[in-house]
Amino acid sequence: ASKAGSDLIALSYYATHGTPVLVTRCTNNFGPWQYPEKAIPLFTTNLLDGKKIPLYGDGLNERDWIYVDDHCSGVHLVLEKGELGEIYNIGAGNETPNRVLVDKLLALLGKDESSVQYVQDRKGHDRRYSVDIAKVTKLGWKRERSLDEALESTVKWYRDNRWWWEPLKAKP
């Protein structure tokens, strides 16, 4: 609600005072340097450490995962070509059930189903989270990496950069 509220405040300044405002909204972002409490880094680092990964409910909640570089290129394009006072949704257009995402990570890290622990779903957990990317696509934007390519790159980064994430996960 705070994100939506800030969008409305910014847009009200555009409407009232002519303050130049562009709003971007993205789907689930991932990539290197993402704090290991988030899904993909959490799953990846747990698997690298030989720990189980938590999968909520039946694992069929869907998310549109966008690689951080693709998100940044979308924001940059909106800054260059976007129309003031408009909202641009940026997503990769690859809605994926969490169970499928987990299977991809298991395969990349050479793990099997025994590394997955199903946990009770959160109350109010969105079943599907996706956005309409038609407006940013009309500006000429498209993602550069497939989900598989981006996951492979991200897993490699976490594998190569334990020095960064291990101390973060060790904090209470």
Q: Which CATH architecture has domain 2-170?
A: Alpha-Beta Complex (3.90)
pLDDT of residue 126: 82
pLDDT of residue 137: 98
Containing 26, the helix (H) or strand (E) segment is: strand 23-26
Other Cβ atoms less than 10 A from the Cβ of 53: the count is: 19
Q: Where are the domains of the chain?
A: 2-170
pLDDT of residue 45: 99
- Report which of 159, 167, 160 is spatially closest to residue 47, judged by C-alpha positions: 159
Tokens 């570089």 -> residue = 69
Low-confidence ranges of the chain (pLDDT < 50): none
DSSP secondary structure of 123-155: TT--SEE----HHHHHTT---SS-HHHHHHHHH
Q: The whole model's pTM is what? A: 0.92
